[in-house]
């Protein structure tokens, strides 16, 4: 059963996208969708941590990933509820730490091809850079409740969930 927990990354992305899409008109419904998305996200994060501990027994990278992942969820929730780009931008370093840390751990353990891990590092730094840009320009991707840094992170979650499920 635990080998299928990474699939909750798909549930997180789907439910969170619905939450962000309806936040402008139906904030309470959006918060309900995001609450379920957050549950799925935490279980996805737990499955990722378990895999990283196998890759990196001393736990350095797993610690960075869990700290970043745990810090990201409340920042994303506040960004959704307030529709404020500053909270989305402040969550970008946490998301980037999760992406870069897991990519480095997998590359260090030679569990992913170097090009795949390098894409993860570039993507994580991209999430960080886009988040900083969103904060500096007070910019949103669509209306007032969706940000490019959030979408970048969600793309990584989908890619990671797919990789974890394919390489049990």
Look at 135 and 10; give whichever has higher pLDDT: 10
Predicted TM-score (pTM) of this structure: 0.94
The 10s digit of each residue's pLDDT in 120-160 is 999 999 999 999 998 888 887 766 677 899 999 999 999 99
* Count of residues in the chain: 168
| CA end-to-end distance (rounded Å), the chain | 11
Token pair of 65 as six digits: 């990933």
Averaged pLDDT for residues 21-48: 94
pLDDT of residue 49: 96
The 10s digit of each residue's pLDDT in 46-92 is 999 999 999 888 999 999 999 999 999 999 999 999 888 888 899 99
How many distinct structural domains can be found in the chain?
1
82: containing domain: 2-166
Q: Can you point out the beta strands (E) in 31-157?
A: none
φ, ψ of residue 103 in degrees (nearest 5): -65, -45
Q: If we measure between CA atoms, which residue out of 148, 143, 145 comes closest to residue 77?
A: 145
Q: Are 147 and 118 in contact (CB under 8 A)?
A: no
Cβ neighbours of residue 5 closer than 8 Å, sequence gap 6 or more: 43, 44, 46, 47
pLDDT of residue 139: 80
pLDDT of residue 146: 79
């Amino acid at each position: 059963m635990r080998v299928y927990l990474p699939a909750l990354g798909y549930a997180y992305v789907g439910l969170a996208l619905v939450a962000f899409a309806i936040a402008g008109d139906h904030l309470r419904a959006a918060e309900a969708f995001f609450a379920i998305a957050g549950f799925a996200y935490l279980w996805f994060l737990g499955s990722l941590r378990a895999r990283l501990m196998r890759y990196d027994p001393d736990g350095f990278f797993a610690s960075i990933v869990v700290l970043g992942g745990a810090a990201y969820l409340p920042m994303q929730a506040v960004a959704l509820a307030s529709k404020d780009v500053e909270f989305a931008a402040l969550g970008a370093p946490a998301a980037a730490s999760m992406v870069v840390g897991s990519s480095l751990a997998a590359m260090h353990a030679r569990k992913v091809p170097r090009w795949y891990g390098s894409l993860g590092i570039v993507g994580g730094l991209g999430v960080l850079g886009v988040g900083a840009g969103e904060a500096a320009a007070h910019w949103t991707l669509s209306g007032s409740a969706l940000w490019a840094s959030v979408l970048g992170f969600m793309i990584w979650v989908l890619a990671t969930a797919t990789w974890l499920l394919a390489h049990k």
